[in-house]
Amino acid sequence: MRKEDEIIARLVAWFDSRLGLSHPMLRPVPEYAVNPFYWLGALTVVAFVIQGVTGMLMMLYYVPSPIQAFQSTQYIFQQVYYGRFLESVHLYTAYAMIMLAFMHMMRGYFVSVHKKPREMMWIVGMVMGFVTLGFGFTGYLLPWTVVSKSATDVGIGMIDALPAQISWLLSFLVVGAGGDATELLRFYDLHVVVLPAVLLVLLTLKMYMLECHGISEPATGVVSQEKRRLIPIFPDVSLYLLELAAVFGSAMLLISVIFPLNLPPQYSPQLAAQFTPQPDWYFLWIYQILKISIFEGPGLSVALSLVTLLFILLFLLPFIDRSKKRRLIDRPIFVTLGLIFVAELIVLAYWGLITPGQIIPFEQAALVIGGTALIIAFVSFGAYWVLFSRIKRQTSSGPQAPTKFAALFSFGALATGGAFAIGNTMNTTVNIIVQGLDWWKALLLVSSIIMLAFVILASALLIYRIELPNGSLSRRIRFLEKMIHESK
């Protein structure tokens, strides 16, 4: 070895022996986990890091006082180099962080990561989800615009509807007793000090538990030996994570260019009086529930209790869904409930978005919420029946692929029926929202929803049949069949 190489080797060995670079703390990862869906939590952390960096840069200029908050935000927008870009990236990455955290949670739900021995990981993850929403809530107020202040005031107003002890504690924590000035200062402190510190502690705890229990197996429960091959976290998996982070970062940058942030007018009580407050998209579903007529006035505490109950159920999920079955195929009820939950959130959020400040009659809400649940349950159980019954029956021959003519004819019929059903559903929904509900419109809506469900179901069946002879779907299903047969 040349003398220079020997010096470098000794230097590397010195650092390695002190820093432990060649002995990574994290355990290797099975190959089946090299898949973006396994790294949604890691991407949420990447979003958090981007938030931290952009946030710290904005902290250099932001002043948390009602008089200067808007001016300092405007200064960042107009005077600071790349200030508008920083604000836009901070906002869209915050949105992405909330969306990724939600997707991470729902993926965990569907693939049963909450089951033994990962119950506490689920609960800690749920707390982290709340902290993430807390980031959104506290950060929204900081620019002190009419949009942010009005929406936050509505949120703070809800605290009064809670039981007295909780209401007092929350009011003290988030508002204080000094009006706007203390409110903004507390929101700022929570946003830049308390919540990041709490999230970092929880993240460490969750990483520790992940190292103890390892990455969960896929929900199919079928993993080949090849896919179980362990890959070291450094440099292999780290490189994969860097790829994901780079793609995510470039997507955030592109979005911030296409939709640059515009600063709404400064908050003033006079301007706020003319403005219909509406929360940011991630709270729209709660906003829409609170606008249902029976939850007006004294009913508000009932609505908040229902939302709280929903969160408690999510927290306690590992102790409710105690079955040892982890595969999707074995959990039709919980999978259907999960799909209904996601669909209801989307429907309520969109509905809240298009009806700002509008009180929703109870019958209308019941129809939309109930109809959504019904259609999802119908489609989900139908899909289970169509796709999985064959596996469970263990038939040897299975359905045959349709002829080309039959496939084309079916496709044309389904496309026409689908277009009609979608158009009619949307048209009737808009008519109900604009003109109110009557029996004829209700009948029309229910029939078009049933037709839409039928089209979706029939399309799934058609794709399955067309794809059957040589496609990846049939290969996967046959692979599953084979594994089930072998396990028996």
Nearer to another protein, 235 or 412 (CB): 235
Nearer to another protein, 85 or 384 (CB): 85
DSSP 355: S
Kindly state whether residue 169 participates in binding another protein, applying the rule CB under 8 A.
no
Kindly state whether residue 257 participates in binding another protein, applying the rule CB under 8 A.
yes
String of contacts with another protein for each residue 214-253, x by CB under 8 A: ----------------------x--xx-xxx-xx-xxx-x
Residue from 374, 234, 244, 363 nearest 293 by CA: 363
Tokens 């109110």 correspond to 436
CB 140 to another protein: min, Å: 23
Helix or strand or coil: residue 182? helix
Kindly state whether residue 341 participates in binding another protein, applying the rule CB under 8 A.
no
CB 44 to another protein: min, Å: 18
Kindly state whether residue 164 participates in binding another protein, applying the rule CB under 8 A.
no
Contact stretch for another protein (CB under 8 A) within 7-15, 56-64, 84-92, 284-292: 84-92
- How many alpha carbons fall within 13 Å on the CB side of residue 323? 12
Alpha-carbon distance of 458 to 414, in angstroms, equals 8
List binders of another protein among 260-289 (CB under 8 A).
Answer: 260
Among 11, 197, 254, 408, binds another protein (CB under 8 A): 254
**Which amino acid is present at 448?**
S
Alpha-carbon distance of 245 to 96, in angstroms, equals 12
Q: Are 11 and 3 in contact (CB under 8 A)?
A: no
CB 77 to another protein: min, Å: 10
Alpha-carbon distance of 27 to 164, in angstroms, equals 47
CB 252 to another protein: min, Å: 8
CB 148 to another protein: min, Å: 22
Among 37, 82, 319, 362, binds another protein (CB under 8 A): 82
3-state secondary structure 280-345: CHHHHHHHHHHCEHHHCHHHHHHHHHHHHHHHHHHHCHHHHCCCCCCCHHHCHHHHHHHHHHHHHH
Kindly state whether residue 84 participates in binding another protein, applying the rule CB under 8 A.
yes
Kindly state whether residue 354 participates in binding another protein, applying the rule CB under 8 A.
no
Among 75, 85, 110, 341, binds another protein (CB under 8 A): 85
Alpha-carbon distance of 441 to 361, in angstroms, equals 15
- Number of chain residues interacting with another protein (CB under 8 A): 23
CB 204 to another protein: min, Å: 27
Q: Are 484 and 440 in contact (CB under 8 A)?
A: no
Residue from 5, 178, 145 nearest 74 by CA: 145
**Which amino acid is present at 414?**
L
Binding site for another protein (CB under 8 A): 81-82, 84-85, 88-89, 236, 239-240, 242-244, 246-247, 249-251, 253-254, 256-258, 260
